[in-house]
Each structure stands twice: as structure tokens, then as C-alpha cells.
Chain A
Amino acid sequence: MAIGVKVMARPEREVSYVRATLKGMALTFKHMLQARVTMQYPEAKSTDDWRIATRWRGTHRMLTDEQGRSKCVACGLCPQICPANCIKLVPGEDEAGNRYPLIYEIDEFRCVFCGYCQEVCPEEAIHVGVHYENSEYSRDRFVYDLERLSAQTHPVSTLWDPSDPRGE
């Protein structure tokens, strides 16, 4: 035939599937004996040879001082540097005359997790966190206010790999 149709030679009587099944099972049992490469998430969140990178950039955390107040002085650098424009900051003055944020909100939906806010912060107050489980029941819960940012306890990002000096 001009266009090269391949004509299959079909078996003319019934054949057994046992051989094919055994072949498949052999492959399965071979894997049972090999080392495990997956992890039982969410019961297990890290293993001995795998854990989330310390330079992971996830949802933010605001660090606090010894009195439990946020370290932020409302200098305005993070909303300025933020490429996604997701930080809302209104500066104010407390009773002692210190500058502090009246409103500090981060829209985590809008955030692109670049980590510039942490990098630019002169007070080492705002940090991106090593954290990735963020589900909520409503969208507005993703606008983190100052109280929530300060209450987060997850570790903060190192932004670069400490074991790789070239990273810094």
C-alpha cells in the first residue's frame, strides 16, 4: 500500500495473561526492595537526607524585640522596594516619641516572595519565612497584619545558602 499501513498479525486463538501479569508484579516487588525516595507527607515533613532549604522564601514574619514589640520603625523602605506593591505601611509615633508602624499589612496573595523586603530592612524586622503551608478558608485572611506577622513562629529565611559562600 502506498502510504505504508502496518497490518498487525492478531492471534487467532485465546492467549494467557499470566505471563504479562508476572512481569508487572516482578517490577513492583523489585521496587519494594530498593531504598525509599518519597516521604509520608504530611505525617513526615522532612527526612534525614532531605529538608526544606534554609534559603526558602515563604510567608513573612515580623521579628519582635525583648518587650514583644515589633522591631519595625516604619522607615518605608520595604513598601518602596517591593516589586509587587503588596506592603501597606502607615507610620505613627508612640508615647515615647518613637516611630513605629500604625498599620503594617502584607498581602501574601500579591507577594512574589522575592525577599527584597528582608534584604532592605535596616532593622532586621521583616523577614520572609521558611514556611509553605498557608491554606485558609477565606481570601482576606491572606492579608497579614502586624499582629499576625509578629505572632508567626516559623524560622526565617537566610536568603542564601550558608553552605555555599558564593551565594552571599
Chain B
Amino acid sequence: MSNELVSVTIDGVLVQVPKGTTIIEAAKHAGVLIPHYCYHPSLPSPAVCRMCLVEVEKAPKLAPACVTAVAEGQVVHVDSPVAKEARKAVLEFLLINHPLDCPICDQSGECELQDFVFQEGRSGSRYGDYPKRYAPVEDFGRDILYVPNRCILCTRCVRFMDSVVGDPVLEVYERGDRAYIGIDTEQLLDHPWSGNVVDLCPVGSLLSKDFLHKARAWDLDKTASICPGCTQGCNMTIDTRDSVVVRLRPRPNLDVNRHFMCDTGRADYRWMNRGDRVEAPLRLEGGRLHACEWDTALARLAALVLAAEGSIVVLAGGRASCESIGWTLKLAGDTRRAAAMKVPLGAEAAIGNIPNLALRAERAANVEGARVLGMTASWTDAVAALRGAALAIVLDVELDDGDVNALNQVAQVVHFATVPEPRLQTVQLVLPVATMAEEQGVYVNCDRRAQRFLPARSAPGMARSAWWVASQGWARGGDNRSAPSTASEAFGALAPFAGLDYRDLGLTGRAIDVAVAGAVA
């Protein structure tokens, strides 16, 4: 694609787009959505569905908008009677064998077939009692079911597995009206990125077993977020139903994850719905933990930090936001600390044919953010530093027995907790904090891209964001200290992000340019 611009008129709107753009993409600039099934911006276009037929002036017949490049002075009619008649006929063909099971179909409500038939399809069928083709539901492996009856053979799934993943296990079998999507015998659709075929499927033909019958599309509240599963930082949408997270889906971001998300990230939402949460601040009094007000707890937090003789060690979990890490480090003070983030490791799994997109080995979202903010020690060093430390601050970490034993050697522990940790014996203060699904924050991914996530559900009980707790504790620890009042302020107040606020990041993030060495907050 060159930089040369061409002018085209689409449904009366004059737009200028780079030469080589397809009509369907140019139409998006003109604010016109051309109905389509086989076309997907992240996949090659075979023009098989014939749904995007549009009328191009001076062309002999209708052109498929997904593969026709725009030309200078072209006049395109999407809404003309001829084009509409053609699409209506295509829809009628698609509906010949499509079952009328929308009431029990998981895609119902977000189904492109429903949408376009409602928009420009026939209101009735001309096939009457003619029996519909029937084939039983197939299990494609791990998380995916194939319902052949509903399939409209757009082949998005086939092309995704073939050209994006590079693991061509799906294929169109048979021909004509007997055609169906088949899987190689002996094979399963179990590539780590195969779950994307469910999102790609425009109808309810490929279904997620995990989400099956769980919620209807119109019940879901959608929140822009960032996958906390690894350092890739895929943009995702958290779908909640009555404040319960039921599904994670990729959110398009051409610079990070395009339209995709791995199965590991997709399945990792159950911890967001945990019921056994810490709901009130707890402080140690007379050998037992007692619930108390935030004011009391914050004063105690400030006093503990001020009174700590010697070193303070900060241990953070992999889902901690930049704000939480930055303000906890600020709370701990500049000079006396060892700080580390616990990063679980796993096997790296690349998607195949998209460069720089993989399920990363470091299975924590904010490793780079922690590094930028000065949390540079390794986990083993930080745990070793616990010996002889005066105070340990634990920021929502999944601790193993070794970590717990080391922490129990420290005289005083402050636990910023989402869930209770009864194994810790020297806890002075338990502060209930929100999970990443319940707060705003920023993660910095492996390419140093700062990306925002938004709260999808409310935090239980008295839980607050960890940055709020840390900054309030910090403000109470000295004169002339004022804590930030919003998450955006808390973000901008951190040295590596100075001068930035949430508006600068937008919803697709922004690359930040800082050196690790000069970044100690």
C-alpha cells in the first residue's frame, strides 16, 4: 500500500484512502458498514460468501467489496436496489438450511446472520415445509463445539487455522449444499490460540464449551481491559453478567494482539469471581486480627512503615498495576528496600504467523511496569532479603510454602490482600484491595506499551485499589504530603510516566520511552 491517496464516493460520501485499500475498508471511513461474512481484517479474503456485493458505477456487474481495490473517482453504491437485491438473495440461500434455533443459540444477540437478515433479509421463507439439512453436533476438542447446521461456510475458521496459526487442521469437506467444516481425523482443535475461531465465527456454529448456555449476549456488560495472563498484554473485553465475569474476549488492537487472544488468557477469569475475599481492613490486636475502619488501618500502616527499623521488603504479585506498585514503593520509602514481583513461568506459545504475538513465558502482566518503576530485584533475592528485614509489604501475591516460611521470619508483615492468607503468622495489618477486574490501572507490556484497564465489577465490601491504600498510608506518614485523588493522578505522579494521564493512553495504549536505570520513583 503506497502513500498515494485516491478519492472515492461511497453512498454519497467522498473519502480519501490510500491506494490499494479495499472498498469494504474504505467504506468504514465513509461510515458505511458493508455486510460481510467471509471478510475479516486479520485474515486473507477469499470472497466466498458473496455478501459484500456492491454496485460500482461503470462496472459491468456487482463487485465483492472485500477484494476490490478502490480506484480514483470510483462511485460505489452500497444501498442501491440492485446491491440490496443481490444481498437479499445471498441471505435467502444462507437461510435455506439454517435452523431457527436462535432461542437456544449462544451467538444469538451478537450473530451477524441475525443482524443482516434483520437489516435487509426477506421477512419470510419461500421454502415452507421443505426439510432442512441436519448433522449432529461435533466436538472439535478442548473448548470448542461445532454445530454444522448453523454453519454458513464463511471459512474464517479454516483460514485462521491455516494462515494465521499455521496449523491447518480445519478444512471444508464435501461440496455444494453438503459442504461442512471438518477436522482431520486423529486431530483436535487444541492449538493454544485455537479459541479465536469461536470469536471469528459470525454465527453460532463454533461455540465455546466454557461459555455454552451461560449467558445471553444482551445480558452482558462489556468492559475494556488488559489480559493479566502474560507480558504480551493482549487487549481484552471483560464480559460480566450481574457483576459475575462470564467470559473474556479479545479486543482489537492492531499494534498488540490484532484481533486475537490465547486460550490460556481466555480461560483465566475464575479468580475474578472468587467469593472468599477480604472485605474489611484487619489489624492485629491482642494476638488476633480485628476488623477496623480504613482510618484506623491507614494510620497503623503509616506508623508501621515509619517505625520500621532497617529494611522494608516489598513483594508484589504479577497482576499489580503500575499505580499500585509505584505507590507501594513510595510508601516503603526510597532508601531501604528490596522489591520484587513474583512472575510465574510457563512455556511460550506463539500464534504462528503474526510476528511479536505469543503467549509469553513470563506469566504476569506487569513485569515490565514493575521493572520501569524500580522493582528490579529477582524474586529469590527479595525472599532472601526477608531475613533480617524489619517489615515486609505483600501486595496480593500467590505465595508458595517457601515464601510463607521466609515471611514468617519477618517480625512484621503488612498484607495488601484480595483473599485471606492464614499461613502468614506475623501479619500486623491486612488491607483489603481490589483485583485488576475491579479497579482502573495501567499495565506496561513487554514492548513497553502502557495500556489501561477499566473496572468491570465493584470491589467487595470495603476493598479499595491498592494504590489508594498505599498513597493514603504514605500521605499520613509525613507533613505536606497529599495523596492523589484519582487513578489518573496516581498514574501521572509516578516518575516514569510523569506528565502523562489516562487520556494520553486512550483505550489502545501508548508506547512509553523510559530507561530502567533512571526510573527509581
Contact = CB atoms under 8 A, between A and B. Distances in A.
B216 interface: yes
Contacts, number: 29
A75 B108 contact: yes
Interface stretch (A23-31, A43-51, A89-97, A145-153): A89-97
Interface in A57-105: 73-77, 80, 91-93, 97-99
Interface string B191-227: 0000000000000000000001111101100000000
Given A75-B104, A123-B103, 5 more contacts: A73-B104, A80-B216, A80-B218, A91-B213, A91-B214
B102 interface: yes
B514 interface: no
Interface in B423-462: none
A77 B217 CA distance: 11
Interface residues of B, number: 12
Contacts of B218: 76, 80
B102 A99 contact: no
**Chain A interface bracket (under 10, 10 to 19, 20 to 34, 35 or more):** 10 to 19
Interface of B: 102-104, 108, 137, 212-216, 218-219
A122 B103 CA distance: 7
A80 B103 CA distance: 13
Given A73-B103, A122-B103, A99 B213 contact: yes
A126 to B, nearest CB: 12
Contact of A74 (B137, B212, B213): B213
25 contacts: A73-B103, A73-B104, A74-B104, A74-B213, A75-B103, A75-B104, A75-B108, A75-B216, A76-B216, A76-B218, A77-B103, A80-B216, A80-B218, A80-B219, A91-B213, A91-B214, A91-B215, A92-B213, A93-B212, A97-B137, A98-B104, A99-B104, A122-B102, A122-B103, A123-B103
Nearest to B103: A75
A98 B105 CA distance: 11
Nearest to A77: B103
A103 to B, nearest CB: 13
Interface in A92-147: 92-93, 97-99, 122-123
Contacts of A98: 104
Contacts of B108: 75
Contacts of B215: 91
Contacts of B212: 93
A7 B65 CA distance: 97
Identify the 6 closest CB pairs spanning chains A and B, nearest first: A75-B103, A76-B216, A99-B104, A122-B103, A73-B104, A91-B213
